Amino acid sequence: MAETYLDSTELVLNMGPQHPSTHGVLRVIVKLDGEKVLGTDCVIGYLHRGVEKIAENRTYTQFAPYVDRMDYVASVSNGLGYCLAVEKLLGVEATPRAQVVRVILTELNRIASHLLWLGTHALDIGAITPLFYCMREREYVLNILEKYCGARLTTHAFRIGGLQYETYEGFEQECLAFCDMFLPKADEYEELLTGNRIWVERMRGVGILSAADCKAYGVTGPMIRAAGEKWDLRKAQPYSGYQNYDFDIPTGEFGDNFDRYLVRMEEMRQSVRIVRQAVAALPAGPIMAKVPKVIKPPVGEVYVSIEAPKGELGYYIVSDGSTQPYRVRVRPPSFVNLQALDKMAKGCLVADLVAIIGTTDIVLGEVDR
Amino acid sequence: MKKLLRKIFLADLLEGLWVTFRNQDPKYIVTEQYPFARPKVGERYRGAPRLNTNPENGETLCISCDLCALACPENLIVVGWERNAQTKRKELVNFTYDTSRCMFCGLCEDACPVDCLELTQDFELANYSRDGAIWDRQMLEEGPKPARYKF
């Protein structure tokens, strides 16, 4: 306790759940010494909807729309992971055409997710302009998704065994037009931010998480790549035909906020590369594999993970042989990445805490599920 | 030396300003003037549900097979039907669709064997009460009628 009013004690501050820079409803209890963060404690669960429990009372087909609501900025990836998991359980594989369309849509969605991240994160730091530009370019992706499957955000684009919808007329051209349009725009964002001294000062050397720490916490995605680890599930255990595409894994050096930003920028460009190759290789053929109308997988369990924009997204499904899953467990990348917040935030300033939460790229719908 | 000059003359900030200046070009304006101009949504858009009728005689296409109600993850569709004693066929009496619980996944539309239930391009579903969000057969056949205000 302070003896006189000049003595200082630790201050416990409550940040969130209604704080705009927590990107949702994250509540962080921060222990402060002046401006310095001594420790953080995350309180989550404000957006808990019990998705995993809902799965136990839905058929396999019926549960597919619910997974879109977890990571709602990258719902296509969520749907892909779930469909792959159930397909593995059933022992079927999507048709070649379905696989390529899936790759195109997933990569477009990755760009959209990273654009939203870049815009909101720049807004947290104080740069308002990129938000408008990012939203403008993201609109093109959302329009492609809307034309393809009828929804912009919670898409429900894939079905177990393939696709429900055939590509619309002009789909390939629109994807390529977006790729051509997007690359100069990405350079424009870099022009705005990468050299900007305020941006660099705020990001460089803040929130360092080494590769060893990443592994200890189970952190995946752009965060572990920023720490210099070449770990990408698209290369490490290719799914949905990713082994056919030529792309690089961007890595950082220091594992700080700035590296995470650079890695994500480069990832968008690599996604453009993949989309171009996939559109060029789009085969003709059926879009739906032979899947029974009533999906009744054999007794067993399966774990399938994919590289979502935020990291490793895994589905663990236990089947008891009935039409409904016995248990569905989701390994959400945001939730696991958020664990490392305390490690990164210790010793930094309150304003940096906002930047660190930003580069962790959490979506609370996925953290709380 | 070049680095120092760049720092002194705020080159990095001016470059950013130049980007924002370039983006003033009216061809980059994408804002939609919503109530004045309504956006045109995609052909496959999953919006307000509709029960299609036969355009020739106005009879419903629904055969009361209940497949949409079974497909719905939220169990929000209730199909009310009666067996006609003379023709021995099911006849649709009422059809309730709770749009307040609907997540527009499109599974009911996929399940419909006669293309009767369809999610349309109408996206203005707001109403003043919770009861108003539960649509009956008449509402589903006629579709929503959002108010068009004059400005």
Asked which of A61-65, A250-254, B28-32 is least confident by mean pLDDT, the reply is: B28-32
pLDDT in tens, A272-295: 999 999 999 888 888 888 888 888
- A238, two tokens: 């290719």
Read off the pLDDT of each residue in B59-68 and give the average, rounded to a whole number.
Answer: 84
pLDDT, average across residues B9-35: 82
| CA atoms of A269 and A186, how far apart (whole Å) | 8
Contacts 24+ apart (CB under 8 A), A58-61: A58/A324, A58/B73, A59/A294, A59/A295, A59/A323, A59/A324, A60/A86, A60/A160, A60/A295, A60/A297, A60/A323, A60/A324, A60/A325, A61/A159, A61/A160, A61/A295, A61/B71, A61/B107
Query: pLDDT value at position A231?
Result: 87
CATH code for the part of the protein at A51-333 = 1.10.645.10
> Domain residue spans in chain A?
51-333
Report the alpha-carbon distance of residue B8 to residue B21 in Å, rounded: 22
Locate all alpha helices (DSSP H) within A126-218, ordered by sequence.
Answer: 129-149, 171-193, 197-203, 211-217
Instruction: Find out whether A309 and A114 touch, Cβ atoms under 8 Å.
Output: yes
Cβ contacts of B28 on chain A, cutoff 8 Å: 136
**Non-local CB neighbours of A300 within 8 Å, separated by 6+ positions:** A89, A318, A319
Architecture of domain B49-142: 2-Layer Sandwich (3.30)
Distance CA(B33)–CA(A146), nearest Å, equals 20
**Which of A129, A149, A196 faces B12 most closely, judged by CB atoms?**
A196
Does the structure show a pLDDT above 90 at A204? no
pLDDT digits (tens, 9 = 90+) for B99-112: 888 888 888 888 88
Going by C-alpha positions, the residue among B129, B127, B119, B118 that lies closest to residue B147 is B127
The full set of domain ranges for chain B reads 49-142
pLDDT at B23 over 60: yes
Helices and strands in chain A: count of H runs, count of E runs: 15, 8
For residue A16, give both structure tokens: 């969130």
d(CA A80, CA A124): 31
A18 Cβ contact partners less than 8 Å away, ≥ 6 residues apart:
A25
Would you call B45 and A146 a contact, using CB atoms and an 8 Å cutoff?
Answer: yes
What does the pLDDT read at residue B60? Answer: 82
The C-alpha atoms of residue B20 and residue B29 are separated, in whole angstroms, by 13
Amino acid at A139: E
Tell me the β-bridge partners of B82: B91
Cα(A268)–Cα(A276) distance, integer angstroms: 13
CA distance A37 to A11: 10
User: Could you tell me which residues of chain A have a Cβ less than 8 Å from any Cβ in chain B?
Assistant: 58, 61-66, 69, 129, 133, 136, 139, 143, 146-151, 154, 156, 164-165, 168, 188, 191-193, 195-197
CB proximity B70 to A under 8 Å: no
CB hemisphere CA count around A98 (13 angstroms): 23
| Residue-level pLDDT at A1 | 52
